[in-house]
Structure 1
């Protein structure tokens, strides 16, 4: 712990936190880790977890408290905020759409990552975040993705968030 916290909130600490979080069976991914340093050994942080769309609020509450305690015990970081992304578990078609959308996104060198992907079939909506590098302005990247994915999935409302490479 002293090796990680004694210096700074660097990539090693973020990697350790993500590893601890993704060791939980329900956690499909951990994204957007933000750490704030308030002096020696005083880190507060937040994270988004990708979780199955079948989890209840009770299960989410139990998971959140469990991971907050574990992260604090093993890293000294107090997670003050745990946001969630849901992922589809009820429909195999969502996995096919995700795979196709991922191919479209990753065809661009400036697109580093896609996460928080969810298809709402009832509302015909697709939502996700894309992490972009600094080679492209976020709005320019979004315009390209809205056009390409909109052509591939006409009739779907798209909600694409340009995310930063925070961790």
Structure 2
């Protein structure tokens, strides 16, 4: 049975996801370097022979892609340095720094070729294409599409944003090369030289990619919202473990693609013993780490299951909260009828900027149904 490079690599390393991830990135990186250097060399020869700034700029763009792969591999190597006293969580974020360097190179390349292309528009020079040259460019389009698919699949499987971005960039390069072919055909058919204009279009495209890569990398460094699919899967896995009834306040801290820590508060029935709670949390911790390579620590909320007054109050308060603009949900509900105290945590969306004003507004609404009660409300953002 035929096995893809991905399945072969994962089979080789088994459950060792860190080594498997590194191997996938190395395979994709080396393939990208060799392919892009070959593409760049042949395109440079064609561009020089045809006196085409568009093809020459496309060749340099391929060299940029090759250098991106080199920097990605270097970043991977440095990020694998073992943790030490100064960096107890390792060096995983170096991958983001290497990604930022790659993005800057892409942007600078685009700016330089924009200047060259504008000069060609102001002072056009004749271009001369052959059918063989155009056929070779067509082959490069197919090659770039294959390389783009390879990088994307390897990137998704290894959770490497740099590789996914490289895959997107490769597919966009195929589009740029297609534009170059169209430009050449128009020139051959009409004699009108639009090479400089095509170069401007491609340089703008390169700059756009560079800016997009910078934004994505900076977001990773600053800290971005956890992937919704991962969040949903983690919650589903945990809620399938008895006696867990709810999972709230998830925060995932990213210290590199291969090093993530998480915190999560769990709800369990009030009759749960300490031993049962410990066993459930230990099982949840192990299950999530094996599947997502995220190490979670947990807090614990108790859910009242036997007092009808508490259950009724929780349902009524939940209904009032849901009718409040900006509110998403409540949890950690506690109702003390004797001392006239209601406590709970509330999740709000990012449209709520003044927590104190929001809390006071909600307390006024709740006081209409529970006069004389004191309300202890903790407001949390919807982090995940």
TM over 0.5: yes
* Partner in structure 1 of residue 255 of structure 2: 38
**What is the distance in 2 between the residues matched to 1:68 and 1:4?**
22
Q: Name which of 70, 73, 78 aligns with 2:287.
A: 70
Query: Deviation string for 1:17-50 (max 9, x for gaps)?
Result: 1111111232221111111112232111110111
SS at structure 1 position matched to 2:330 = strand
| 1:58 pairs with 2:275 | yes
Relative to structure 1, the CA distance from residue 88 to residue 7 in structure 2 (aligned partners, 3 Å threshold; closer, same or farther) is farther
* Partner in structure 2 of residue 108 of structure 1: 324
SS at structure 1 position matched to 2:383 = coil
Q: Name which of 313, 317, 320 aligns with 1:97.
A: 313
Relative to structure 1, the CA distance from residue 60 to residue 120 in structure 2 (aligned partners, 3 Å threshold; closer, same or farther) is farther
**What is the distance in 2 between the residues matched to 1:83 and 1:4?**
31
Q: Name which of 117, 120, 124 aligns with 2:340.
A: 124
Q: How large is the RMSD of aligned CA atoms in angstroms?
A: 2.0
SS at structure 1 position matched to 2:243 = coil
Q: CA deviation at 1:123?
A: 3.9
Which is richer in strand? 1
Q: CA deviation at 1:130?
A: 1.2
TM-score (norm 2): 0.41
Q: Name which of 126, 146, 150 aligns with 2:367.
A: 150
Relative to structure 1, the CA distance from residue 4 to residue 145 in structure 2 (aligned partners, 3 Å threshold; closer, same or farther) is farther
Q: CA deviation at 1:102?
A: 1.0
> What is the aligned residue count?
166
Q: Name which of 298, 301, 304 aligns with 1:82.
A: 298
* Partner in structure 1 of residue 237 of structure 2: 20
The answer as to whether partners of 1:4 and 1:13 remain within 8 angstroms in 2 is: no
Relative to structure 1, the CA distance from residue 93 to residue 7 in structure 2 (aligned partners, 3 Å threshold; closer, same or farther) is farther
TM-score (norm 1): 0.88
| 1:135 pairs with 2:351 | yes
Q: Which moved more, 1:8-17 or 1:118-127?
A: 118-127
The answer as to whether partners of 1:132 and 1:138 remain within 8 angstroms in 2 is: no
Query: Deviation string for 1:86-144 (max 9, x for gaps)?
Result: 21112122111111111111112211111221223454322111112233321111001
Higher CA-based Rg: 2
**What is the distance in 2 between the residues matched to 1:4 and 1:26?**
33
Structure 2 alignment gaps of length 5 or more: 1-16, 22-155, 162-225
Relative to structure 1, the CA distance from residue 38 to residue 157 in structure 2 (aligned partners, 3 Å threshold; closer, same or farther) is same
Q: CA deviation at 1:5?
A: 6.5
**What is the distance in 2 between the residues matched to 1:108 and 1:14?**
25
Which is richer in helix? 2
| 1:6 pairs with 2:159 | yes
**What is the distance in 2 between the residues matched to 1:55 and 1:91?**
16
